[in-house]
Every structure is written in C-alpha cells, then in structure tokens.
Structure 1
Amino acid sequence: MADQVGKYKLLALDLDGTLLNDRSEISETNAEWVRKAAEAGITVCVSTGRGFVSALPFAEQLGLQTPMITVNGGEIWTKPHAIHRRTLLAADKVMKLHAIAERHDAWFWAYTTEEIYNKERWVDDTPARHWLKFGYYTEDLAMLGSIREQVEKIEGLELSNSSPFNIEINPEGVSKATALMEVCRMRGFDMSEVVAVGDSLNDIAAIREAGLGIAMGNAQDEVKAAADVVTGHHQDDGVAQAIRQYVLC
C-alpha cells in the first residue's frame, strides 16, 4: 500500500504501547523519525486514550502544533489548547458505570473535562460534572468479563480497551476513527491518506478505516489481524520503523 511517495498526508500515533516505551518516554529514534515525517509535510496527530493534560507534554516535546485526539476521540483539538469538539458521556450513565465498579470492587477511573477521578478519589456531585470517559482495570479476567457483560446492557456506549486488563467506555459513536474522520474534514484530507498506528482495541477502528493501518509488534492479536502491516515492538522503536518503511519510503 505504501509504494507511492507522497500518498499519505496524516500520521495518527497512539501514545502508550505505541510511541512511548515502558517508561512512558519517546525514544530519541522515534522522536527523530516523527520530526522527519513532520518536516516532509505530513500532519502528525497524537491520537490517545489519555486526557489532554497528560498527552500535551508529548506533543510539546515533538514541537507539534497540529490536531490532537484525546480520550479516545471524546475531545478533538485543532492544535494544543484549541478545542474543536467535545462529546460528553451522560452523567446518568457514569453513575451506572460507577455502581458496577463498586459492586465488583474493581479499580476504576473517569475523565471529566477538568480532572481525573478514580476509586481513591470520587465525587459526590456526579450529575454536576462534564464527563468524557469511564474505565475499569483488573487483572482478574473473570471479573473483567462480568463487568463487560453488565456494561453492555447499558445503551448508548462505545467499548474498547487500552490493555487486555481494562475496559474503556465512551459515548456511542465516539472513537479514534470518527475523530480522525473529523480531523480529515478539518484539514481537507481523505481517510485513504491517513496512516494510523496503535496497539489496542481503542485503535482498531482507526486502523481499519485508515488508508494504512499499522499494528505494533506488541499489539493485541485482534489489532494485528485488523492491520495492513505489523511494525516493531514499542520497546524497539516500532514507530520509527513504521515511518521509515511505510510513510517516508
């Protein structure tokens, strides 16, 4: 697919398990090749399940003034600090999701437009907050399966994950793929001109919809199966390999 020089105009990069190593760092090699892509005129878009505050330092490290996708597409930014669109998760659904977490005594977290809350620090005024995403984490896969069964009974939700041990929930229709479509609309690109790189289920829709979908070597098997190609492990500069072999070839 990547045999035409200049075919791709937008490079969407997941952070954890993709651009970042196990220490949550961008390696010098990955940073070098991201800069090369940007210098070649490719729009590099951070596309992450993280909230804006925790994603921003990586965009700044790379010197990016380009669109960002945060909380799995719940927020789309024209550039850092310039919000284009937010899609909120209804407070009544957050209350139901919280009740499920409490019943299972599972670790959970949730993003509002302002802060992150979790099992150790929750709120008394859930309806008053502007929610974006809810998540569960447990290495007890039987518990995770039970939680998923109950969550799936609640209408209007989009389920994904950012590791085999979590479930991430956004409003129905919100994903990195739909966010990328909006970024393309903003920038005048076609999805066939997009390269999407990731490792988890919150990347799979974008990988399927992009002109070139790239799974990391450490990606979940389902993500690898959906991808056009598989690059190196996130510990081995897999993003740099992908840019060199498929984007700037």
Structure 2
Amino acid sequence: MNKVLFIDVDGTLISFTSHKVPDSSIDALQKARENGCEIIIATGRAYTDLEDLKEIPYNAVIALNGSDCVLRDGTSIARRQIPLDDFRKALALSEEYGFPIAVENDLGIFVNRRDPQVIALAEHVNHPVPPVVDIEKMFVESKCCQLCFYCDKETENEIMRQLPHLSASRWHPIFADINVKGVDKSTGMDIFVSYYGIDMSETVAFGDGGNDIPMLRKAGIGIAMGNASETVKAAAGYVTDSVDDNGIYNALKHLKVI
C-alpha cells in the first residue's frame, strides 16, 4: 500500500511517560516502510533533534511546525525563516510582558533567561534546560524558523495581536511555538505530497497536540492518539489508542497498512 504517513513526535511517537518510542511503533513503521509507505516526521522540533528516532525508517522531516522541510540526509526542500524585524518586535514584547523567549535553530534551543516554565518544559520532553545566550546575536548569526514564548494563552493572545506576520500554536499550556504566519504542519504536507507525487487522499497523519490539528484535518485520514485532548480528537477522522498502548501499531493494523 503506497501511502505517505505523517507522524508527530512528542506524545505520538515518543511517550511522555517513558520518554521512548514504544517497540510496537518501531515494528509497525518498519513494516509500513517495507510495504511501500513513505514516512515523514512532522514535529515542532528541529530536524537535528531526532536522535530518539534512529530506529524509525523515515524519509524526511517537517520540522519546526512546517517551517523547515528536510530530507533525512539534511537536504533542504523548503524553509521559512522568521524575519529580523518580527524577531526584534517579539523580543521587545517578551521583555515588556516579562516572559522568556527562545530561538530554535539547527544548533538547539536558546533562551534569553530561565524561569520555572523553561525548566518544566525541558523536563517534560526529557531535554537539557536550554542555555541562556545573547539571543539577538544568536538569531542574527543563525537561520531561525521558530521562536518559543514561555507564557500562558491569555498573554499569547495579547502578544500575537501585535505580531501580525507571525502565528502561534500550542501542544502544552506553558508555552507556544511561533512561526511565520500561514506556515504549519499542513503546509509541510503540501510540500512533501508534491515532492513524492502522491495525492493528499493517500496520506495518513498521526498527532496528539494542538499544533497537529491542521495536519489531521488535511490528511486523507487524520488519526488522533488516545492521549490527545478532546479538541484534537474532534479534528481527527479516527481515534486510536494512546502512545503507551500501542496506538500507532493498532491504527496501522486497523487500516491494513501492515
């Protein structure tokens, strides 16, 4: 069965409980690849931050919520960087409202300061706490496609009204990913469907977070994990079991992909 599988990472491939990819998911995706499926990772992470997925036979990555589309070997297919003027406005607003801001690039995640939310998020995804740097210097010297605001939803709403060229998405209540407006995981899907010459109706997408909703809606079949919120489940055509209960394996068996 020649399908393209678009798969989120945190909470979909990687368990928030074990911080690992379940063996059943590895087995299912290896079988799907053997059966002719293309496998594309769709994540808020940078494509350089996928060491945990080395056993997954993926072809490409929709990284940084659609802002950076890359083949597994690092070949760039498309990239949408944050404009410098928008970054400077965002940095000024973070200082005015008193929340940390992060730059995410191929080197990692870097913050202008640490607070309990920065530390809590790093622990939640089993990553080192981001280092504090001169964040404007880091932005200017790197290719940055995504920022991170460590603030609540109410603050985000107020801030984003002042950043009309950027958009926010969330999969956790303590932070928001910030990208160029009009870019999300579903726009990354468009790029790779064209690249592989496969119709969108032949796609399957898996996700659990708010930033997966555009992808789940666009896919031929959108599958929400059992651990997803009710809002995410409502956007999907099918709800599988949780990541810890063999959700990916069970869904691919249900669809007769494996």
Aligned equivalent of 1:26: 21
- Equivalent positions of 1:49-64 (< 5 A) are 49-55=44-50, 57-64=51-58
Aligned equivalent of 1:237: 246
Please tell me whether the aligned partners of residues 210 and 232 of structure 2 are also in contact (alpha carbons under 8 angstroms). Answer: yes
Please tell me whether the aligned partners of residues 91 and 129 of structure 1 are also in contact (alpha carbons under 8 angstroms). Answer: no
Aligned equivalent of 1:16: 10
Aligned equivalent of 1:122: 133
CA RMSD of aligned residues (A): 1.9
Q: Deviations over 1:55-101 (max 9, x none)?
A: 2x24422233x121110111111333222121101122112222222
Q: What is the SS of the residue equivalent to 2:172?
A: coil
2:24 & 2:108 partners in 1: Cα distance? 32
The one-letter code sitting in structure 2 at the alignment partner of 1:19 is L
Please tell me whether the aligned partners of residues 197 and 213 of structure 1 are also in contact (alpha carbons under 8 angstroms). Answer: yes
- Equivalent positions of 1:1-249 (< 5 A) are 6=1, 9-22=3-16, 23-55=18-50, 57-64=51-58, 66-120=59-113, 121-123=132-134, 124-125=136-137, 126-138=139-151, 141=152, 144-248=153-257
Shift of 1:245: 1.3
Q: What is the SS of the residue equivalent to 1:225?
A: helix
Please tell me whether the aligned partners of residues 110 and 116 of structure 1 are also in contact (alpha carbons under 8 angstroms). Answer: yes
1:20 & 1:95 partners in 2: Cα distance? 34
1:193 & 1:118 partners in 2: Cα distance? 40
1:122 & 1:145 partners in 2: Cα distance? 27
Q: What is the SS of the residue equivalent to 2:81?
A: coil
- Higher mean C-alpha deviation, range 158-167 or range 38-47: 158-167
The one-letter code sitting in structure 2 at the alignment partner of 1:40 is N
Q: Give runs of ≥4 in structure 1 deviating > 4 Å.
A: none
Please tell me whether the aligned partners of residues 74 and 86 of structure 1 are also in contact (alpha carbons under 8 angstroms). Answer: yes
Please tell me whether the aligned partners of residues 193 and 211 of structure 1 are also in contact (alpha carbons under 8 angstroms). Answer: yes
Shift of 1:244: 1.6
The one-letter code sitting in structure 2 at the alignment partner of 1:39 is E
TM-score, with length taken from structure 1: 0.88
1:87 & 1:166 partners in 2: Cα distance? 21
Q: What is the SS of the residue equivalent to 1:101?
A: helix
Report % sequence identity.
Answer: 28
Q: What is the SS of the residue equivalent to 2:70?
A: strand
2:82 & 2:157 partners in 1: Cα distance? 17
Gaps of 5+ in 2: 114-131
Q: What is the SS of the residue equivalent to 1:85?
A: strand
2:4 & 2:221 partners in 1: Cα distance? 10
